[in-house]
């Protein structure tokens, strides 16, 4: 029986054809350095991410930490590494945050206005586009927020950006690394928007492999990722994506995410 090529996919951060091309180039380097022939796929929206994360041929696929953390330990895919952005909010660790975005000329002018704002959200199992915003609000308006109009699912950061520009929502949270990529390569996409606040840094989305992937292949891919910055071509590919390096991560680091989400649900007392 011939084994299919392991897949690589940056769907979570494929914010434009140009950005996807940069990720494809990085995965091609990982493939060469690891000696593992990867099939690089798009799995483009609106194809469900859950279908991607269930594939038995995952080799290096970005996965949100929240659904990863909600899986039973024995069912989780293999954690390979997570990116370390060049932005200050990473604390030079494999962390990320969410930016609370508003329209520059919209009705939200200060954090106090967020309690009554029309919020947009991506999907309910997203840390950056759903739970980060609710945790942020719980820390400031616990027990005082009233049920208000929300808009979702908006699917991804591009959906939040579009809804803000069209005036369908007043505020929304997007992955701060996704915002960094847009700032670097698609400035027009975020014109007219501003960052009102940034949430606490938490474990970043990670590259995972399927449990069924032979361990020597997973190890080779992980080693290639965490040493990529040590080569000139790897460092250049990372820099184009606003990254310093990839770092190995402990699966247990993600256990804080459902704890924070459940706490926010209790403290807010309202549903979206």
pLDDT digits (tens, 9 = 90+) for 98-109: 999 999 999 999
User: Bridge-partner residues for 174, per DSSP?
Assistant: 99
The answer on pLDDT for 1 being more than 80 is no
CB neighbourhood size of 74 (10 A): 6
CB neighbourhood size of 56 (10 A): 11
Q: Once rounded to an integer, what is the mean pLDDT over residues 125-144?
A: 95
Q: Whole-angstrom Cα distance, residue 26 to residue 207?
A: 13
Look at residue 146 in the predicted model and tell me its pLDDT. Answer: 79
The answer on pLDDT for 143 being more than 90 is no
Q: Once rounded to an integer, what is the mean pLDDT over residues 181-197?
A: 98
pTM score:
0.96
**Where residue 149 falls among pLDDT bands split at 50, 70, 90?**
confident
In sequence order, the 6+-apart residues with CB closer than 8 A to the CB of 116 are 146, 148
Assess contact for 188 and 80: CB atoms under 8 A: no
Please tell me whether the peptide bond between 153 and the residue prior to it is cis, using omega within 30 degrees of 0.
yes
pLDDT digits (tens, 9 = 90+) for 58-95: 999 999 999 999 999 999 999 999 999 999 999 999 99
The answer on pLDDT for 46 being more than 50 is yes
Q: Whole-angstrom Cα distance, residue 271 to residue 135?
A: 13
**Where residue 160 falls among pLDDT bands split at 50, 70, 90?**
very high
Look at residue 3 in the predicted model and tell me its pLDDT. Answer: 62
Assess contact for 151 and 118: CB atoms under 8 A: yes
Please tell me whether the peptide bond between 125 and the residue prior to it is cis, using omega within 30 degrees of 0.
no
Q: Whole-angstrom Cα distance, residue 206 to residue 246?
A: 9
């Amino acid at each position: 029986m011939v084994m299919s090529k392991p897949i690589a996919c940056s769907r979570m951060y494929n914010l434009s054809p140009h950005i996807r091309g940069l990720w494809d180039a990085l995965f091609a380097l990982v493939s060469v350095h690891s000696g593992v022939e990867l099939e690089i796929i798009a799995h483009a929206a609106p194809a469900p991410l859950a279908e991607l994360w269930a594939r038995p041929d995952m080799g290096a696929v970005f996965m949100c930490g929240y659904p990863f953390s909600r899986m039973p330990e024995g069912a989780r895919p293999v954690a390979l590494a997570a990116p370390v952005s060049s932005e200050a909010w990473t604390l030079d660790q494999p962390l990320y945050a969410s930016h609370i975005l508003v329209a520059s000329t919209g009705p939200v002018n200060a954090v106090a206005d967020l309690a009554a704002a029309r919020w947009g959200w991506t999907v309910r199992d997203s840390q950056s586009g759903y739970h980060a915003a609710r945790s942020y609000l719980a820390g400031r308006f616990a027990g005082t927020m009233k049920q208000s109009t929300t808009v979702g699912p908006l699917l991804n950061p591009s959906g939040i950006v579009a809804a803000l520009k069209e005036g369908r929502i007043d505020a929304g949270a997007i992955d701060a690394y996704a915002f960094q990529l847009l700032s670097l390569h698609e400035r027009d996409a975020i014109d007219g928007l501003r960052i009102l606040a940034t949430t606490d840094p938490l474990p970043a989305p990670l590259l995972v492999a399927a449990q069924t992937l032979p361990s020597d292949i997973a190890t080779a891919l992980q080693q290639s990722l965490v040493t990529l910055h040590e080569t000139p071509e790897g460092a250049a590919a990372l820099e184009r994506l606003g990254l310093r390096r990839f770092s190995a991560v402990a699966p247990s680091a993600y256990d804080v995410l459902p704890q924070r989400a459940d706490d926010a649900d209790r403290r807010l007392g309202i549903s979206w």
